[in-house]
Structure 1
Amino acid sequence: MTEKNAPFHTLDEFDVEYSGGVQYCTQIQPIFDKKAAAIVLVSSDEYAPFASVVVASIIANASTDHQYDIVILTDNMLQRNQWRIQRQADGIENISIRILNISKMIEGFSFFTWAHFTSNTYYRLLTPDVFALYDKVIYLDSDIVVNHDIFELFNEDLKDYYLAAAYDTHVVAYCTQTPPLEQRSYNIKELGMKNPEQYFQAGVSVFNVKAIRRDFEEGYLIKQGLNHKLRWLDQDLLNKLFYGKILRLPNRWNVMVSNQPQNLDEYYLPDMLRQEYFMSRQAPYIVHYVGRSMPCYTTNPDLFEFFWKYARKTDFYEILIQRMAIDYAEKLVESVRIQMRQELGKETIIQRGKRYIWRMINYLLPPGSKRRIYVKRLAFSLKTWN
């Protein structure tokens, strides 16, 4: 067992905390024994405040009877933000927080992305390699909050499944509404899914590292990520590669919210799954603010109370409030600009009348016609005569 408060060394014993350099590593040692809940997040520097909220929520619901080994993978997080997150475990003996710079591991890699997605989403595919010395690891996106003891999720019996995850209720709804959206045929044709409704959300998942490393070569997942261009990126990839080998988790472990809470996709789910989803919303174990629907980035926040409950426990609380104010101001300015453009673009009654008159003139007296030339000369002579 590694001493919890000991300096975190890379494989070449390069210690970032004392050297002031950059910490690189390709594989880590468990900080506790294998009974501890191993948890990995991926975060950019922009998402550091959100990663901190995730960590705060894990700590707030952690049991003193268990140990929690938290690791954050990043390629650009500022040192000061790393310290702010790491000191959340100060004085808590059963919780460890380590932040690992993986920039050397992904150097030169080029991943397919679009819309708001970034290359960071692919970094979860490194989990079986970075955590090779672990049996299983919980992966969490940085846009979630944990509202239950996550050790219970870690304790899930994975049997011989490669992954455990909940259904992606947004995507499933695309497949099950009447008529289904194109997503259904995409799941069949592009992902090879015989049952396209059995599509899983990878933002909260448990990797069976032992089984994956047993059946696949080193670096298999990240290599596949480089070689595929799929709609929902690495999440599609995991559904494609592990189809039939993903253990379904109850929906309460990944309650997805929306930027439009008044028009949830989940209304189109099959009866049983729809009931499960709306029951889970009442007491969610994990809330997932997908698609930048974090309460500080949307004017219609859904299940916002869980986010702010844990955000208040971090050093980033005021930063998140500031971001919310800036985001609101920018959206307000943009709405005013749109309204002004619409108002300036409107025709007055006089302008509309003139347009109709000229349209009639052009119809009766086509430009360049003899009639038009004659009328112009007549009008000029009358003006001159007056």
Structure 2
Amino acid sequence: MTVPVFYSISDDFTKYAAVSLNSLVKHANPESDYTVYFLNQDLSAAHKQDLSNLGSKNVHVKFFEIDDELVAPIKNRKENFLRADFFTMSIFYRLFIPELFPQYDKVIYIDSDTIVNDDLAKLYQTELGNNLFGACTDSSIQDVEKMRQYIKKVLALDPKKYINSGMLVMNAKAFRDKHFIDHFLDLLEKYHFDCIAPDQDYLNEIGEGQILYLDPRWDAMPNEKTEALTNPGLIHYNLFFKPWHFKHVQYEDYFWQSAKETKFYSELKAELDHYTDQERADDREKLAHMLSKEDKTEQDPNNWARVKEREAVKL
């Protein structure tokens, strides 16, 4: 059995992805086989080599270039901005994995700002049944009132059931059988939903009622208001809690432990040392900017809640 694992990255995210990949390889069961794919559009040959060098006898590193034509319907427009701040096509790549890799009926997707702290083969053994995917509820937003309001009033979903898309166990066969990508592109073109977390909101809406909720240890996120989990299987440095920008981030030791084993360690330490207090303040302000979208989208006649009153958006 091969465990297929997917990342989606842009070239400037290589050093963080390298730290994540290194941690994945360290925790891989030597008795299992893994193929790790990096979905990309702009990875340099040098960075491909850097990532390939981190592979092992049973962890095979491969690259897949996303065709411009495939993602052409996803335009650089404000509705698709990540964190209401900037556009990055790579957040949408994960949605196309089942179509691009028909040889797999089940796959794991993880973001690049992660650390793997357990064997992903354990996660891959998850029985998905008829669900579209397995994921963890988004613990990073449970204490953010504005985000809870957005989920309730704009998305018309339960905040306690709103999942984070940084780790997915995808039922690739169900995605294909139920024509997920056609439905996604149809909704995208028809409504241009103004989203705080574009790919994540679409997954929550289209997957509603067909999501398997997984143990929170598989998507542990730094949080200033809750205690750290004692045995995180996967750590996801979500939003602005990046240990290469902030000091004293929850779970930061796991990141630096893996970073030390890569060629990017000194570069990452320098990035942390040179990141200014003003830049950190700006990052926190970006969170407020992201949440400011809630008031406007609540009044939008074509927000998720209102469209759902007229038609079904879930599969």
Q: TM-score by structure 2 length?
A: 0.80
Q: State the secondary structure of the residue aligned to 1:256.
A: coil
The Cα offsets for residues 353-382 of structure 1, whole Å up to 9 and x where unpaired, read as xxxxxxxxxxxxxxxxxxxxxxxxxxxxxx
Counterpart of 2:12?
A: 46
Change (3 A) 1:77 1:184: same
CA distance in 1, matches of 2:5, 2:93: 14
CA distance in 1, matches of 2:236, 2:165: 11
Q: Does 1:173 align with 2:143?
A: yes
- Contact 2:140–2:222 (8 Å) recurs in 1: no
2:214 to 249, 252, 255: 249
Counterpart of 2:53?
A: 87
Counterpart of 1:149?
A: 119
- Contact 1:48–1:81 (8 Å) recurs in 2: yes
The answer for unaligned runs of 5 or more in structure 1 is 1-34, 175-180, 267-277, 336-386
1:1-386 alignment, distance < 5 Å: 35-89=1-55, 92-104=56-68, 105-107=70-72, 109-111=74-76, 112-113=80-81, 114-115=84-85, 118-174=88-144, 181-193=145-157, 195-216=158-179, 219-221=182-184, 224-225=187-188, 227-258=192-223, 261=224, 264=225, 266=226, 278=227, 281-327=229-275, 330-331=276-277
Q: State the secondary structure of the residue aligned to 2:128.
A: coil
Following superposition, the deviation at residue 218 of structure 1 comes to 5.2
Q: State the secondary structure of the residue aligned to 2:131.
A: coil
CA distance in 1, matches of 2:265, 2:215: 31
The answer for unaligned runs of 5 or more in structure 2 is 282-315
Following superposition, the deviation at residue 238 of structure 1 comes to 0.6
The Cα offsets for residues 193-225 of structure 1, whole Å up to 9 and x where unpaired, read as 2x3421111101111000111111655435545
Following superposition, the deviation at residue 133 of structure 1 comes to 1.8
Following superposition, the deviation at residue 314 of structure 1 comes to 1.6
Q: State the secondary structure of the residue aligned to 2:161.
A: coil
- AA aligned to 2:46 is R
Following superposition, the deviation at residue 36 of structure 1 comes to 1.0
CA distance in 2, matches of 1:156, 1:223: 30
Following superposition, the deviation at residue 231 of structure 1 comes to 1.9
CA distance in 2, matches of 1:141, 1:234: 12
CA distance in 1, matches of 2:279, 2:66: 39
Following superposition, the deviation at residue 334 of structure 1 comes to 9.4
CA distance in 2, matches of 1:245, 1:185: 23
CA distance in 1, matches of 2:101, 2:174: 13
Aligned-pair RMSD on alpha carbons? 2.3
Deviates more, 1:97-106 or 1:65-74: 97-106
Q: State the secondary structure of the residue aligned to 1:230.
A: coil
Following superposition, the deviation at residue 325 of structure 1 comes to 2.3
Change (3 A) 1:305 1:109: same
Deviates more, 1:182-191 or 1:157-166: 182-191
The Cα offsets for residues 294-332 of structure 1, whole Å up to 9 and x where unpaired, read as 2111134221100011112222222212222221xx337
Q: State the secondary structure of the residue aligned to 1:197.
A: helix
- Contact 1:257–1:303 (8 Å) recurs in 2: yes
CA distance in 2, matches of 1:295, 1:119: 24
Q: State the secondary structure of the residue aligned to 2:43.
A: coil
CA distance in 2, matches of 1:80, 1:86: 10
- Contact 1:125–1:222 (8 Å) recurs in 2: no
Specify the structure having the higher radius of gyration (Cα): 1
- Contact 1:122–1:222 (8 Å) recurs in 2: no
Following superposition, the deviation at residue 108 of structure 1 comes to 6.5
Q: State the secondary structure of the residue aligned to 1:53.
A: helix
Change (3 A) 1:224 1:131: farther
